[in-house]
Amino acid sequence: MKGIIIAVNILHFIITVKSSAIFNTDYWSARASILRFEEKIALGGNLIFENDERIANDFLMDLKEKELAEAFSDPTKFSPAKNFIEAYGNIEQSKVFKIIKQMPKGAVLHSHDTSIVSEDFVFNNITYRDNLFVCDVNGTLSLRFFDVPSNDCNWQLLQRIRSNKTMADEINSRIRNQLSMITADPDSVYFNVNIAWKKFMDIFAFITPMLTYKPIYEDHFYQGLKELYEDNVLYLELRSTLPTLYELNGTEYSPIEVLKIYKEVTTRFINDYPDFVGVKIIYAPIRVMTPEEMDAFVKSAVEMKATFPNFFAGIDLVGQEDKGQPLTKYVDKLYPIINNIQTFFHAGETNWYGMKTDENLIDALLLNTKRIGHGYALTKHPFLLDIIKRQDIAIEVCPISNQVLGLVKDLRNHPASLLFADGFPVVVSNDDPGLWGAKALSYDFYEAFMGLMSRNADIRALKQLAINSIKYSSMSNDQKLKANVIWTRKWFSFINQFICDSTRDLVNVSEIVQ
């Protein structure tokens, strides 16, 4: 019904404009009407400024317009047009970015287990823990915790190697190189999607044996929550492969036991930070499984839903879509459970049109997905777009991920611009921030606000993103109520502080000029 009303309003507007033109209505009035209509239907365009939001918006838009004007004059200064790996230092100097960092951003709904923590923490903290061993196989390092190392490799205690200054510099450089995609010339190094994805998957292969040591896995997840909390995020839905965890004594933990560990860490974090609302886990193994593995996955998901009904959100399949199995491969296993297990499918994370990856979008909808992960190819499917808007299915837009992994170079050309312009149910998320030098959520919000949205998109668009992130989450109604109360309080506190800081800066500048 909502989609029909919107369509009727648009048709009425077009007819009115055309009729006006026939009767020689003033050109400039018609032009202004079009601009007002575009603003109204864009993300956040229906929100009304509350309290002092308009004052805060004036300050924000002044900074945004100055930054855009400088880039329009000198395009080399526009960060969203550059690979994030190259641009993140400049982004951190942006006044708009600094404001976005202070802003309460609601929830993160698309992020992955072993990549949510900043690369600096993994290197400076985790790789300096006791009992971490390193092995070099044909120029590639492996890291794993042991009490007594196994005989399958020439394992050496990393602390011992670092005790030698020359050896420490070399090993540290190699570890950092394998920990992230950061490089001096990313566009030359990752010159196509497959090259970027190979490096991306190599990082997961490198960090997983280290991070799946149970005490480290717990600390890593806690740190991920802390980094989100410090970035003014109050809730997380985490996609996890639920990997096998291990202890030094050889004890191992199954997927459902790992889910319980997540819940215990979440409870501890909420006790430490009571205004953090919570976490839910989406069980998301790699999208290359045998029929037997798929059966085991479905069986585990059913058990998890029964055992942790308020913590287990649902299922997904992850990995490079172009090289993974299409959803059609698993329909016979998935279709029988979609009324009992919620789905959150990655779909359309591709530049190809009409290929199996692109058509995953169709299957995701037919398999009852609550949200669509990435949905990069959606704008090539107007019929699906209409369904998504009518059924109010959220699209998880991850700008930096799409850029770093080779789908788009200049974020002004990201297809999600249309989704923002037409007020689709979108959320912005961070995907795998720790693998390309980002941290938490603010970087993706900045890139979306400055690169994907219109110059005229204002503080209401940012507010709508935060509201959407709560609305389209899997939180219970009680959790959503609590989240909205906490977020609203923090939002207006942010508005007041932003106005105070901006006013003080204006006074200081005036005094300097005088």
Q: Which residues are catalytic?
A: 349, 374
Tokens, residue 266: 């979440």
> Quick check: helix, strand or coil at residue 375?
coil
Smallest CA-to-CA distance from 474 within 333, 332, 309 is with 309
Is 377 in contact with 351 (CB distance < 8 Å)? yes
438-465 per-residue burial string, b: 16 or more CB within 10 A, e: under 16: bbbbbbbbbbbbbbbbeeebbbbbbbbb
The residue type at 14 = I
Classify residue 508 by burial, with Cβ atoms within 10 Å: 0-12, 13-18, 19+.
Answer: exposed
Please provide residue 132's backbone torsions phi and psi, each rounded to the nearest 5 degrees: -95, 125
Q: CA-CA distance, 86 to 304, in Å (whole number)?
A: 41
Q: Do residues 444 and 430 lie in contact, with contact meaning Cβ atoms separated by under 8 Å? A: yes
Strand 394-397 vs strand 426-428: parallel, antiparallel, or unpaired?
parallel
Task: List, as one string, the DSSP characters of 149-200.
Answer: --SSS--EEHHHHHTSHHHHHHHHHHHHHHH----S-HHHHS-SHHHHHHHH
